[in-house]
Each structure stands twice: as C-alpha cells, then as structure tokens.
Amino acid sequence: MADATEIFDRLKEDHDRHRELIDKLLETSGDSQEREELFTELTKELKSHAAAEEQALYSTMLRKPPTTDETRHSVAEHHEIDEMLNDLAATDMSEGGWLTKFKTFAHDYRHHIDEEEEDHFPDFANYLDKEDEQHMREVFDRRKKEEKAEAEVTPEKKEDAKE
Ligand SMILES: [Fe+2]
Ligand SMILES: [Fe+2]
C-alpha cells in the first residue's frame, strides 16, 4: 500500500541515484566517452525526475495553500536546473571550463535535493491524506517512465536561453 513515506522514499531513491551519477561525473576528464555517456544519462534522469515530480508531487502540493511558497521555490529551481543542463550541453567538454561549470551545477543540484528531503518533504507530509499519497505514487511511476523515454540533451547557452 502506498503511503506518504513510500512516495518520499521513492523520490529519495532517485536523488541517491543522481548523487551517484554526479560523483562519477566529477571524476571524469576531457571529452571522453565516459563523460559523454554519464552526462546524457544524468540529463535524462534529472529532466524526467523533475517533470514527474512536478506532475505527481508539486501539482498536489499547489492545492494545499500552506505549501505554495515551498512549491513555487522548487519548481523555479527545476527551471534553473534545466537551463544549467542545457548550458553544460552547449559547452565544449574538452575545455577545463566544462568541469568548473559542472562543479557549480553539482553544488546547486545537491542543494536542491537536500532541501527537498530535509525541509520540503517532511513539511508536505503534514498536509497529505491517503488518497493524495496513493495518487502521487501512481502518477510519479507512470510519468517518470514516459518522461525519461522522451527526455533529450538540448544544448543551449545560458545567455541565449529565453525565459
Ligand atoms: Fe526537485
Ligand atoms: Fe526531487
């Protein structure tokens, strides 16, 4: 049976996978095949996670007025994460600047998921009933799969990105 703990544990499972991929990427160098493959997997994983998280969790939380600020904050960060991933994809991996940029991204992304786990999720759990929990878990599993199948690396320099 789905419960609040279950949906949040499922999201944390994804976060741990993201931490692992980021740690591996930090060990790579130059425009190696390994860096290329890990970055593609990280991009697809992060974009599909954020989309499914919005469709499952944050859309539900938007219906709970006390959590509106936290929800807006997180969704805005998802947009920034997308822009940073696109900017990294548009940056030459063979240059040292790529890793410098990736380190900034890694720091920001870790902050995002730490904040979700430590601040948002425990607060959200206070406003959820069984029906919400069941719904979120079903939507997340279904959408994550579909979003991941469609997710793409889309290079775009930050300065060219339209709001
Ligand atoms: Fe998120
Ligand atoms: Fe998340």
Q: Establish if 120 belongs to a structural domain.
A: yes
Tens digit of pLDDT for each residue in 54-66? 999 999 999 999 9
Check residue 146 and give its pLDDT: 98
CATH number for 138: 1.20.120.520
Q: Residue 12's Cα: distance from chain center in Å?
A: 11
Check residue 1 and give its pLDDT: 46
Q: Residue 99's Cα: distance from chain center in Å?
A: 19
Check residue 133 and give its pLDDT: 84
Check residue 161 and give its pLDDT: 81
**Contacts of 161 by beta carbon, 8 Å cutoff, 6+ apart:** 83, 86, 87
Counting DSSP H helices and E strands in the chain, the numbers are: 7, 0
Q: Establish if 147 belongs to a structural domain.
A: yes
Question: How many structural domains are present in the chain?
Answer: 1
Q: Establish if 41 belongs to a structural domain.
A: yes
Both tokens of 98, joined, read 């790529």
Q: Establish if 159 belongs to a structural domain.
A: no
CA of 163 to the centre of ligand 1 (A): 19
Which residues line ion ligand 2, judged by CB < 5 Å?
53, 116
Tens digit of pLDDT for each residue in 78-121? 999 999 999 999 999 999 899 999 999 999 999 999 999 999 99
| Inter-residue contact 145 to 114 (CB < 8 Å) | no
Is the pLDDT score of 11 beyond 80? yes
Q: Establish if 163 belongs to a structural domain.
A: no
Please tell me the number of the ligand nearest to residue 11's CA. Answer: 2
Q: Establish if 161 belongs to a structural domain.
A: no
Q: Please state, in angstroms and as integers, the Cα–Cα distance from residue 27 to each residue in 21, 32, 120, following that order.
A: 10, 11, 30
Q: Establish if 109 belongs to a structural domain.
A: yes
Q: Establish if 157 belongs to a structural domain.
A: no
Q: Give the global pTM.
A: 0.94
Q: Residue 160's Cα: distance from chain center in Å?
A: 22
Q: Which domain holds residue 111?
A: 2-151
